[in-house]
Structure 1
Amino acid sequence: MSRRWFLSGAVLVTVAAPLLAPSPALAAPPKPDTITIDGEELDEAITVRAKADPELFEAMLSQVNWLSNAKGLSTSPKADKLGRKYTVVVRVGDQAKQTYDLYPLAAGGPRAYRPGKQPDKRRTTNAWFYGRLNMSETLRAAGVPLPGKPESLHGGIGGGERVFDEDTLNPGRDIDKLLTDLREVLLLNGAVVLVITLGLAGISLLVRRRAR
């Protein structure tokens, strides 16, 4: 009897094992591991790989990964205000999955464009977005020849401090200027009070003469 139950249990386990195994369809999709950046002034496309430089790869991915399902702007920017265009393609292995156009030098701040036709055939729409403020710094770190800015960040992507001129951080000079301005204001106010006083005195003298 026990042997029969043992055999029955073994048969049930054998039959149920494929059903209990995780379905390939439910497995997590592979993560992007390569990003390419292309532009008119680039001799060849720049490739950023997750294995070779994970920090830079994540910084570049953060510039575009939020664009896939985001709602775009209601109006499109003017073409002559966009500046240089850089096409960023997100890949998994050799397969392109997403593509976006970045405009780091656009007037009024960086812009990003999502084409409705994506390499992975998913359904989406053409849309414009305001890009991340550190777009220029991230692209420059990847090797894109963008002009530097005085207020650019130092110390790595997303970190560091702003660079100020020494004169900007000179408290003695600022106090002297403040005292000079204050003295000029007091002298001006004193002159105004003196003019008003003389005017009132003249009016009072004139009224007294007429009263006689």
Structure 2
Amino acid sequence: MAGRVSRRFVGIVTLLVAAGSWLGGSTVAHAKPAAKPRPTLITLTGTDLAAPRAVRLDADPELFAAVLDQVSWLQGSGHTTAPKAADLGPKYTVVVHVGDAAKQSYDLYPLAKGGPRAFRPAKQPGGRKTSAAWFFGRLTMAETLRAAGAPLPEQASTVHGGVGGGERVIPDETLGSGEDVDRLLGELRRLMLLNGAVLLSITVGLAGIALLVRRRTR
């Protein structure tokens, strides 16, 4: 009798363990997130392009990654306000596709005054909407778009204002004049003299206190 009860108990425990293992495996399988579809195609259009340029992941992965890198980080509320239209230069629209479906659209201005700019329109492909935002673009924007087929002049340096000339990355109006520098140096000099006077006063005060304490302890 005891043997039959023991065998039944072992059988029940075995069934419970097997059921628990199956349920656990099923839960993990269902909890595993599906892989997010990756972009596979980028199209480039512009007023000076006779036809759209297509950059495909399978055909040229390095160029595809370089173009995607120009727009993949354009998130949040942006870096700057809208520049003047006259300072933007030629516009190129980059549309990122997953399969045959367009997902994101961005406007790039590689020759904008003061450095490249990027704009994320509020209206996105497929009826999606987001907040419109302006960003400072990467300094490699012009060379990357040129490699993708945009008729842009060859850059002697990826940094504007370097070897070969070009626009400053920081506009002249944001740089201080010589008078501003002199004024700043004068203020720093006065601050250093004031700090020196304060330190001297503290040192003299401490020396006086030490002298009084010494006299009283004799």
Corresponding residue for residue 135 of structure 2: 129
TM-score of the aligned structures, taking structure 2 as reference length:
0.62
Q: Which amino acid aligns with 1:148?
A: E
Partners of 1:115 and 1:71 in 2: how far apart? 12
Q: C-alpha displacement at 1:36, in angstroms?
A: 0.9
1:13-52 Cα offsets, whole Å, 9 max, x none, are: 333332121436x334222222111112222211111221
Quick one: which of 82, 94, 100 aligns to 1:94? 100
SS for the counterpart of 1:66 is coil
Q: Which runs of 4+ in 1 moved over 4 A?
A: 120-123
Corresponding residue for residue 46 of structure 1: 53
1:131-185 Cα offsets, whole Å, 9 max, x none, are: 1111111011111111224x246xxxx9xxx877xxxxxxxxxxxxxxxxxxxxx
Quick one: which of 63, 66, 74 aligns to 2:73? 66
1:33 aligns with 2:36: no
Q: Which runs of 5+ in 2 are unaligned?
A: 1-6, 165-218
Partners of 2:141 and 2:24 in 1: how far apart? 52
Corresponding residue for residue 87 of structure 2: 81
Corresponding residue for residue 20 of structure 1: 28
- CA 1:118–1:68: 2 relative to 1, 3 Å: farther
Count matched residues: 154
- CA 1:31–1:70: 2 relative to 1, 3 Å: farther
Partners of 1:96 and 1:8 in 2: how far apart? 50
Corresponding residue for residue 110 of structure 1: 116
SS for the counterpart of 1:129 is strand
1:69-102 Cα offsets, whole Å, 9 max, x none, are: 35331x2111122111110011211122211000
Quick one: which of 6, 10, 24 aligns to 2:18? 10
SS for the counterpart of 1:48 is strand
- CA 1:120–1:107: 2 relative to 1, 3 Å: same
Q: CA RMSD in A?
A: 2.5
Q: Which runs of 5+ in 1 are unaligned?
A: 165-212
Decide whether the 8 Å contact of 2:77 with 2:131 is kept in 1. Answer: no
Decide whether the 8 Å contact of 1:98 with 1:120 is kept in 2. Answer: no
Partners of 1:8 and 1:126 in 2: how far apart? 57
Partners of 1:4 and 1:14 in 2: how far apart? 15
Corresponding residue for residue 64 of structure 2: 57
Partners of 1:123 and 1:69 in 2: how far apart? 14
